[in-house]
Amino acid sequence: MTEELAPVTPLFGASPAGRQRAAGADADLGAVPSSTIPAAADSAASGVDGPETRPSSSANGSPRLVSIPGGQGDAQAFTAVVPAGMDAESRERLIGEAQETLVRALARSDRSTEEARRLLRDWRGEDPKGAQAPEDGTEEAAEYEESLRLDDTEIEQVIDRCTELGYLDDLRLAELVVHKSRDKKRSGIQGVERALRDRHIAAEAMQEVLAEVDRDDELERARELAVERARRVKGVEPDAAIRRIAGFLSRRGYSSGVAFTAAREAVQGGSRPSRSSNGSAGVFFGASPVE
């Protein structure tokens, strides 16, 4: 009986078809300086078929070059650097995860564009399923950790997408900050400006909302606060009371001139005990009058 022999697989060197495929890959990478192509790409040129021809990181964890088909009818392939531990598809998945994280954060509370950018800089993706992180403290561990974070270009990609979708809007946030500072906290102009800066709102949005703020009633608003504050410092020596009230108004964002004017009027206007129409005493500063 004649036994059929299994086909022989070459152990060294690829089949002629494999060599032709490798030669084609070299042609695509011909525009890239040879000094920038890692050893993994060289192995493909030598005629060895295998997983090394797929877009992935090299065995030692360093970034490598991968060929990605060109777009818009461009048949010429271009070469992109893929971070260690990530292929192009995994990188897109990482960007998608970062965008989902930002959208969830924006659903909880509004953020400025810069606040969103800082969140993405601190964000770290989850370890790929089945991946084994290198030992801490090694160069490979640092590269692996970096591969799970977005670079500046990817961060701006997420920012632009969320802006297009309306999730990020510095002007809308600036209007909310002004309303809270001006109407709820009754802050002065300087206080409103400080609140906007604290939220890292874009300068263009700040200028637009501040132009809409009414500055003519600044002194009147300070007077109202000063009279309310004067009730808390009854019995205090007048000069000290003026300083305390003026300091309070300054912390609320009123200029020093407005703060001292309003404080002085509130204190001096109540420097003697007075009776209102219902017989109740007004605010009194200083010693009790002699009967």
Cα-based torsion angle of the residue sequence 250, 255, 259, 261 in order, rounded to the nearest 10 degrees? 170
Taking a C-beta distance cutoff of 8 angstroms, is the pair 173, 115 a contact? no
Asked if pLDDT for residue 204 goes beyond 60, the answer is: yes
Is 128 part of a structural domain of the chain? yes
pLDDT of residue 142: 85
Q: Does 69 lie in the same domain as 30?
A: yes
pLDDT in tens, 56-91: 344 344 443 333 343 444 433 433 344 445 678 888
Domain end residue (candidates: 82, 106, 132): 82
255 shares a domain with 232:
yes
The answer on 283 and 232 residing in a single domain is yes
User: 91-95, 250-254, 255-259 — which is least confidently predicted?
Assistant: 91-95
Q: Are residues 287 and 224 in the same domain?
A: yes
110 domain residue, yes or no: yes
Q: What is the pLDDT of residues 210-226, one digit of tens each?
A: 999 999 999 999 999 99
Residues 241 and 221 both lie in one domain: yes
151 and 93 together in one domain: yes
pLDDT above 50 for 20: no
In a domain, 11, yes or no: no
Residues 182-198 have a mean pLDDT of: 96
**9 within domain boundaries:** no
Across the range 162-167, mean pLDDT stands at 97
Residue where one domain finishes, among candidates 82, 117, 132: 82
The full length of the chain comes to 291
Tell if the pTM clears 0.75, that is, is over it: no
Domain assignment present for residue 4? The answer is no
pLDDT digits (tens, 9 = 90+) for 100-130: 999 999 999 999 999 999 999 999 988 776 6
Residue 147: which domain range? 89-164
CA–CA dist 224, 32 (Å, integer):
72
156, 184: one domain? no
Stretch 153-164: mean pLDDT, rounded?
A: 97
**Three-class DSSP category at 43:** helix
Residue type, 201: I
pLDDT score of 273: 39
What are the pLDDT digits (tens) for 240-251? 999 999 999 999
- Res 284 pLDDT > 70: no
Query: For residue 229, is it within any domain?
Result: yes
Does a structural domain hold residue 147? yes
Asked, for residue 49, whether it belongs to a domain, the answer is: yes
- Cα–Cα distance between 137 and 90 in angstroms, integer? 24
How many structural domains comprise the chain?
4
Is the pLDDT at 278 greater than 70? The verdict is no
Domain end, chosen from 59, 82, 105, is at: 82
